[in-house]
Structure 1
């Protein structure tokens, strides 16, 4: 009778029954507290993968690497295809024959030193163009060139500026590679300006004095007869400072159209339109070179003296067009083409 009562209690109890193979909770907690030390077995069946030295692969600090900007032009505008890196060119305008970044990279790719040397020798030549950066001090010329070097926003207003007066930027535009040498000119001597293939006249839209300086530079270039055969782009920088704007976009367009230049508004601080300006500069150089080749030595443009005399007339004409545009609410074709860097 007592044996049956114990069996009934065991069946009616709400506590879970532990099987013989299960561990009680008290022992389970104690076993978890004890650190289990397993002997580490090091297998020699596989080769250890070497750790890549990231400091060695930092392309920004590697003096032997160049950044290659890639763009494509379409009806919708400029498309940034990204940046790539390669070995820096030698003075003979070819890739420098050096070893790969990491020895395993070349081995995995199956490239030998002979293959690399053949690739270096077969690299086609690249057209090199010189671009003069002109404008008042503090307009952001150096910061703009620094932003040209990368697709990332570098916040050039706060970043350190480069002390080099000339910086080279390699660009692939529509599958054709070129190299632009940007030079920040302070002297504006004729012998130096005549070597340029294009001019970027930069002013700050929050500084009227820099805008006046830009107009004087355009007049100076026109007096030296450097406008007819070279593209000129008037660049309004710092448009992100909208509350402090002192020069309107219409005033910039009016001045640009007066001198037959292109016009664009950019902001280095937020990386706005910087890629469009970089690719547009190369496009303007190529289009102008082709136009000069077709025209040859034919002088179909008016003389500098004629331009100097009609400069005030041209300015008045642009002001009249600007007024009509404001009254009719329709943008004039001349002002519209002024901002299109894909056409002459």
Structure 2
């Protein structure tokens, strides 16, 4: 996996900082009516990209050691909303996504929306990561902003700290809220246990995170923003989860074969044995499902 920040003409990284809430939502969205913002297009549409536009290919690219695909010309833009309690590491994850070094983070205070093009499995997809969920910064009469966040995402990353059990419980509540608000939509949701490097301070076990993901039917991964552990894998996994829900079975199978060619022999053998055992044992099937909840390349 490589992070390529070289761009033609040394163009600066496109970043959407502190994207203002549209005036049509200043009084909050109407009940039962999802917010509409021309700058934030619906799933699968882009407000800034048009077929044949060469400029988009000069942005920073986050590559997963994949070759270029003919479908890159039909690139789409999707919004990924970060949810979670204060101080669980949402901004750190967003900064890594945006390519902001820790020593330069103070220069970007107030920026909360970032756009980047990722090359995953040979195809390009542009993500807008929104770090706009912060309850402590909002007054009671501005709580509608959180409702807005709950409705505009094409994918959601719910973050908790493994060193703070209350943040884990809040993450479970957020998953319930999403299920209630977006229950008719098949949107990707990934539960993220951040700060995995703080082993001695751990309050939430890995098994608890996986079990929660199985119960709430979402994906799970542990990350360490300070060590950049699994952060690239997280956002590439978001792209894969969006594609699995958006595209045809044949297209996804082609991508899956591309992805599996890079897997180790041991991982392939384990996957085969798990599938074989699960086919003949319902109890083992649930266990296998629990094990697969952290595989962001499958539904």
CA shift for structure 1 position 332: 1.6
**Which of 159, 181, 184 pairs up with 2:128?**
181
> For the structure 1 residues 330 and 257, does the alpha-carbon distance in structure 2 shift closer, same or farther, using more than 3 Å as the test?
closer
Query: Cα RMSD (Å) of the superposition?
Result: 3.3
Question: Residue 194 of structure 1 aligns to a residue in which SS?
Answer: helix
Matched, 1:85 2:34: no
What TM-score, normalized by structure 2, do the two folds share?
0.60
1:142–1:162 CA contact under 8 A, matched in 2: no
Question: Residue 240 of structure 1 aligns to a residue in which SS?
Answer: coil
Q: Which structure 2 segments of 5+ residues have no match?
A: 15-46, 57-71, 134-142, 252-282
Higher relative contact order (CA 8 A, sep 6+): 2
Question: Residue 212 of structure 1 aligns to a residue in which SS?
Answer: helix
Matched, 1:128 2:77: yes
Q: Which has the greater radius of gyration?
A: 1
Corresponding residue number in structure 1 for 2:174: 217
Matched, 1:251 2:208: yes
What TM-score, normalized by structure 1, do the two folds share?
0.53
Corresponding residue number in structure 2 for 1:167: 114
> For the structure 1 residues 172 and 341, does the alpha-carbon distance in structure 2 shift closer, same or farther, using more than 3 Å as the test?
same
> For the structure 1 residues 291 and 256, does the alpha-carbon distance in structure 2 shift closer, same or farther, using more than 3 Å as the test?
farther
CA shift for structure 1 position 278: 1.3
Partners of 2:113 and 2:191 lie apart in 1 by: 20
Partners of 2:82 and 2:250 lie apart in 1 by: 25
2:96–2:231 CA contact under 8 A, matched in 1: yes
2:162–2:202 CA contact under 8 A, matched in 1: yes
CA shift for structure 1 position 238: 0.2
Alignment of 1:1-344 (within 5 A): 80-87=1-8, 91=48, 93=50, 94-96=53-55, 124-150=73-99, 154-155=101-102, 159-160=105-106, 162-186=109-133, 187=143, 189-226=146-183, 228-290=185-247, 332-344=287-299
The C-alpha deviation readout for 1:114-158, integer Å capped at 9, x for no partner, is xxxxxxxxx9352101001000010100100111234x9x458x9
The C-alpha deviation readout for 1:52-81, integer Å capped at 9, x for no partner, is xxxxxxxxxxxxxxxxxxxxxxxxxxxx14
2:210–2:293 CA contact under 8 A, matched in 1: yes
Partners of 1:330 and 1:270 lie apart in 2 by: 34
Q: Which structure 1 segments of 5+ residues have no match?
A: 1-79, 98-122, 295-327
> For the structure 1 residues 86 and 237, does the alpha-carbon distance in structure 2 shift closer, same or farther, using more than 3 Å as the test?
same
The structure with more helix, counted as a fraction of residues = 2
Range with bigger deviation, 85-94 or 222-231? 85-94
Question: Residue 156 of structure 2 aligns to a residue in which SS?
Answer: strand
> For the structure 1 residues 178 and 333, does the alpha-carbon distance in structure 2 shift closer, same or farther, using more than 3 Å as the test?
same
2:214–2:290 CA contact under 8 A, matched in 1: yes
Q: State the number of aligned residues.
A: 204
